[in-house]
């Protein structure tokens, strides 16, 4: 199975080869389903590059950059990248995607932009994405209402969000990281192992970071941690509806 960005999605290795799930930078995949460097735990990451290098959207350019508030922000907004620079002279933005293939950015019709640090005044905007494409390891995109380089530079540093509803559908046995975070994890004997707090990409595979309540040597409450590779050898089932993952893993590992 595999896991993706939603930092997106990964796909599982062929069961005949390794029995392991795969994860896309926003999605994850494992042997049961499929299981990046991580930033905030709100998103996942893609492992493989998209088959196509670009995707253009037939969005009208009449609507400009729209000011948003916290209340108008979509409840399912997922951070998928950050504006690192302007691209060219016509208002295009250069985005560092949290997922390696940036599929969420390419598929979304609207991008939501948040600028400013926590605890300080923040600027929120949204705009229709007129066009977006892969450019080397980044994504470049043109937003309606951002017509020149100066306007694009004003958005440098903004974090880019996409509504989870606009993510492309994952392939069979693929999961977005954002959909795995918070799921209960138990082994095949029914022993509860904790909840998925995050996913880690170690370069070879995605790893579930599972946390659980524990105590230290002095009996004080602490948070324990288990790292379980998101591969088919260990991950047996992923049930998003039941919010549960079953693994072949002992509590004392």
pLDDT, residue 26, reads: 58
Give me the mean pLDDT over the 23-38 stretch: 50
| Rounded distance between C-alpha atoms, residue 44 and residue 6, angstroms | 4
Bigger pLDDT: 115 vs 3? 115
pLDDT, residue 30, reads: 59
pLDDT, residue 223, reads: 96
Q: At 153, which helix (H) or strand (E)? A: helix 149-153
pLDDT tops 80 at residue 215: yes
pTM of the complete model: 0.70
Q: Is residue 18 one of the residues assigned to a domain?
A: no
Least confident interval from 18-27, 56-65, 226-235, 241-250: 18-27
For the domain that residue 56 is a member of, what is the CATH number?
2.40.30.60
Q: Is residue 144 one of the residues assigned to a domain?
A: yes
Q: Which of 43, 203, 63, 57 is nearest to 129 (CA)?
A: 57
Q: Is residue 128 one of the residues assigned to a domain?
A: yes
CB 181 within 8 A of CB 4: no
Q: Is residue 118 one of the residues assigned to a domain?
A: yes
Give the total number of structural domains in the chain. 1
pLDDT tops 60 at residue 242: yes
Q: Which of 228, 221, 223, 231 is nearest to 250 (CA)?
A: 228
**232 token code pair:** 């088919």
Q: Is residue 110 one of the residues assigned to a domain?
A: yes
- How does residue 29 score in pLDDT terms, banded at 50, 70 and 90? low
| Rounded distance between C-alpha atoms, residue 213 and residue 233, angstroms | 26
Burial of 18 (0-12, 13-18, 19+ CB in 10 A): middle
Q: Is residue 178 one of the residues assigned to a domain?
A: no
CB 40 within 8 A of CB 15: no
pLDDT, residue 70, reads: 93
Question: Mean pLDDT, the chain, as a whole number?
Answer: 82
Give the Å distances, CA to CA, from 82 to 101, 162, 244, 250: 14, 12, 31, 39
Q: Is residue 24 one of the residues assigned to a domain?
A: no
How does DSSP classify residue 34? B
User: Each residue of 160-211: pLDDT tens digit?
Assistant: 999 999 999 888 888 998 999 999 999 999 999 999 999 998 878 899 999 9
Q: Is residue 15 one of the residues assigned to a domain?
A: no
pLDDT tops 80 at residue 126: yes
* Residues whose CB falls within 8 Å of the CB of residue 187, separated by 6 or more in sequence, listed in order: 193, 246, 247, 248, 249, 250, 251
Residue 55, phi then psi, degrees to nearest 5: -145, 125
pLDDT tops 80 at residue 158: yes
pLDDT tops 60 at residue 47: no
For residue 221, count other CB atoms closer than 10 A to its CB. Answer: 8
Q: Residue 123 is part of which domain span?
A: 48-164
pLDDT, residue 98, reads: 87
| Rounded distance between C-alpha atoms, residue 10 and residue 22, angstroms | 5
pLDDT tops 50 at residue 18: no
pLDDT tops 80 at residue 140: yes
pLDDT tops 80 at residue 90: yes
pLDDT tops 70 at residue 54: no
- β-sheet bridge partners, residue 77: 163
Angle at 72 between CA 70 and CA 63, to 5 degrees: 120
């Amino acid at each position: 199975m595999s896991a993706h960005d939603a930092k997106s999605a990964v796909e599982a290795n062929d069961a005949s080869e390794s029995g392991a799930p795969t994860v896309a930078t926003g999605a994850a995949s494992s042997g049961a389903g499929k299981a990046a460097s991580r930033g905030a735990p709100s998103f996942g990451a893609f492992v493989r590059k998209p088959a196509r290098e670009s995707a253009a959207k037939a969005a009208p350019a009449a609507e400009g950059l729209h000011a948003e508030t916290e209340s108008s922000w979509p409840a399912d907004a997922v951070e998928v990248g950050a504006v690192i620079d302007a691209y060219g002279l016509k208002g295009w933005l250069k985005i560092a995607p949290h997922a390696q293939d940036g599929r969420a950015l390419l598929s979304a019709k609207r991008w939501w932009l948040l600028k400013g640090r926590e605890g300080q005044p923040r600027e929120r905007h949204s705009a229709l994405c007129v066009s977006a494409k892969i450019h080397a390891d980044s994504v470049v995109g043109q937003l309606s209402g951002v017509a020149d380089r100066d306007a694009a530079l004003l958005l440098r540093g903004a974090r880019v969000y996409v509504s989870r509803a606009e993510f492309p559908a994952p392939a069979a046995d693929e999961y977005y990281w954002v959909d795995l975070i918070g799921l209960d994890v138990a082994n095949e004997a029914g022993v509860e192992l904790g909840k998925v707090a995050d996913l880690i990409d170690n370069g070879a595979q995605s790893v579930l970071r599972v946390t659980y309540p524990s105590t230290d040597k002095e009996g004080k409450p602490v948070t324990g941690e288990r790292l379980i590779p998101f591969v088919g050898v260990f991950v047996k089932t992923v049930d998003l509806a039941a919010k549960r993952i079953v693994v072949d893993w002992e509590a004392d590992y």
